[in-house]
Amino acid sequence: MSLNVLRRLCLFSSEAVRVGRQKRSVITSRSSSSTTSVNGLHCRSAGSGEHALLCIPGALGSTDTDFGPQLEHFGRDGSGYTVVSFDPRGYGRSRPPDKSFQTHPELFLRSDARDAYEVMSALGHERFSVLGWSDGGVAGIFLAATRPDAVRNLVVWGTNAFISDEDIECFKRIENVDNWSKKMLDPLTNVYGSLQNVQAMWSAWVASMVEIHEGGGDMCKEELSRIRCPTLIIHGEKDALLPAEHVDCLQGHIGNVKRIDFPEGKHNVHLRFAEEFNSKVHDFLQFHSCS
């Protein structure tokens, strides 16, 4: 095993404990929130401001687990925002059926992007900004590239546009969820019903990444130059799952882009450093609302 992979695995193990403590957070806020179903997708909305925000979860993620601090902060009374998140098809409460991690003829994340647009359209939001975490960032890239008329701004973190040899080696090393921390697994088993279900879904996700890699490795790299909206890339410098080369790729191929690094940030930077993260996102959105 290479030193880089060892380092990433060690970081992943320590990060998993922290993610278990912070990632799967319950929404308790001063904001009023509501849930609804759109085309079979579970959705949550908070706030009543003019600027609509869409939060797209990462792999195996859901509205209730991935964006508690963002729904609370941006959905609070008087914030100026209406924040929406949804469980991607096959995740969380947007089941049955479970996720289909197809890569052909269309990558499942492109389907998620289309679902995201239809959710916002059904809720009456013709123009909105997108916040995408990890896989949700890939869906956000597809959405911004294909619906420039709808996406005002794009914010992504923990997101990669391609799959490398090192990525595959890392994914395979962490494929067995028996090696994950209890704090990481418990929230997922609560959502998916059993450890066996979590393992089956995670293994299917890993298999889809292997298939993408064997097909050339492109996730959404070809879409990057098509993005026209202002884009903010946030990077946790201690992200065990995302080497800086992926962030450099995004930054180098998107035109109107800004990058912010969190020196102590990991894959869940928006949860561990929620207050600072939300402030940076707000400042970015406000700047481009006024420009």
Catalytic residues: 134, 239, 267
Q: State the number of CA atoms in the 13 A half-sphere of 76 facing the CB.
A: 11
The two tokens of residue 288 are: 């481009």
In this structure, are residues 260 and 234 in contact, taking their beta carbons and an 8 Å threshold?
yes
Which has the closest alpha carbon to 54: 98, 87, 93?
Answer: 87
Residue-level length of the chain:
291
Residue type, 165: D
The DSSP string of 12-32 is: HHHHHHHHHHHTS-----SS-
CA distances from 221 to 69, 92, 144, 163, 228 (A): 30, 28, 13, 10, 15
Which has the closest alpha carbon to 33: 78, 77, 2?
Answer: 77
First to last CA, the chain: 49
